[in-house]
Amino acid sequence: MDLLWQYRFDLASGIWWTVKLTALSAALAFGMAVIAGLARGSGHRILSIPAGIYVEIFRGTSALAQLFWLFYVLPYFGVDLSPTQCAVVGLGLCFGAYGAEIVRASVAAVPRSQLDAAEALNFSWYTKMRVVVLPEAMIMMMPLFSNLLIELIKATSLVSLITIPDLAFRAKSIIDKTYQAETVLGFTLLVYLVMSLCASAGMRRIERRLSQGRAAA
């Protein structure tokens, strides 16, 4: 405990970086998941083909390789991103590709009878998605998005390899100074566990709210 107290500011800074990167990456990932998922399931080739290419590339390659490519390779093409921008873009695009398949499958699982009813009421595509499809699909998405968010929290440890002082970076730095790996790593594992439990609880609460809204409707 004395060691953790001695390096409390370093650890707190690392935790803040991890939380911030998780929030920013999750926001980008959710946006990309909705856009790519709807585009891939739209049936229009001009939308589904680019979305499919995006999903297959980012889902089929390593998140670490994507971060390295953004951080080390893009500057050769004249695109200089900061380490934070590389982390957010890399993780956001990577997990957005996984989320796109969740969105596509959930939208496809909405009962056909509800779609027929929306068409009978002459709803526009936007109204049909907003009023009928997405509210129903979001309930199915939440458990899967919860798992994806937990994976994203753990994946933020990769950003330490592109010089971002997140929790994993701070933990390694302290271990290099003190050689007390068991205490530092035990604390680090506990922090990731607490963050994952909080994220899971938050997503379950959102899922319950969505389910209550459907029941009320």
- 45-49, 153-157, 212-216: the lowest-pLDDT one: 212-216
How many angstroms separate the CA atoms of 93 and 187, rounded? Answer: 29
Q: What is the mean pLDDT of the chain?
A: 91
Cα–Cα distance list, 184 to 10, 56, 150, 175 (Å): 12, 37, 21, 7
Confidence of residue 42 (pLDDT cuts 50, 70, 90): confident
131 Cα distance to chain centroid: 25
How many angstroms separate the CA atoms of 37 and 143, rounded? Answer: 17
Q: Which domains does the chain have, with CATH numbers?
A: 2-216 (1.10.3720.10)
Tokens 């979001």 belong to 138
- Which backbone phi and psi does 109 adopt, to 5 degrees? -85, -5
Q: Report the pLDDT averaged over residues 160-169.
A: 94
- In terms of Cα–Cα distance, which of 6, 1, 7 is closest to 171? 7
- The pLDDT value given to residue 1: 74
Non-local (6+) Cβ contacts of 206 within 8 A are: 142
- The pLDDT value given to residue 110: 86
Q: Which of 21-30, 170-179, 198-207 has the highest mean pLDDT?
A: 21-30
Yes or no: say if 15 and 167 are a contact pair by the CB < 8 Å rule: yes
pLDDT value at 212 more than 80 = no
pLDDT value at 44 more than 60 = yes
Q: Hey, what are 135's tokens?
A: 């509210």
- In terms of Cα–Cα distance, which of 90, 81, 75, 92 is closest to 36? 92
For residue 161, the tally of other CB atoms under 10 A from its CB is 13
| pTM for this predicted structure | 0.90
How many angstroms separate the CA atoms of 88 and 141, rounded? Answer: 22
How many angstroms separate the CA atoms of 159 and 94, rounded? Answer: 13
Tens digit of pLDDT for each residue in 170-202?
Answer: 999 999 999 889 999 999 999 999 999 999 999
Tens digit of pLDDT for each residue in 90-122?
Answer: 999 999 999 999 999 999 888 878 877 777 777
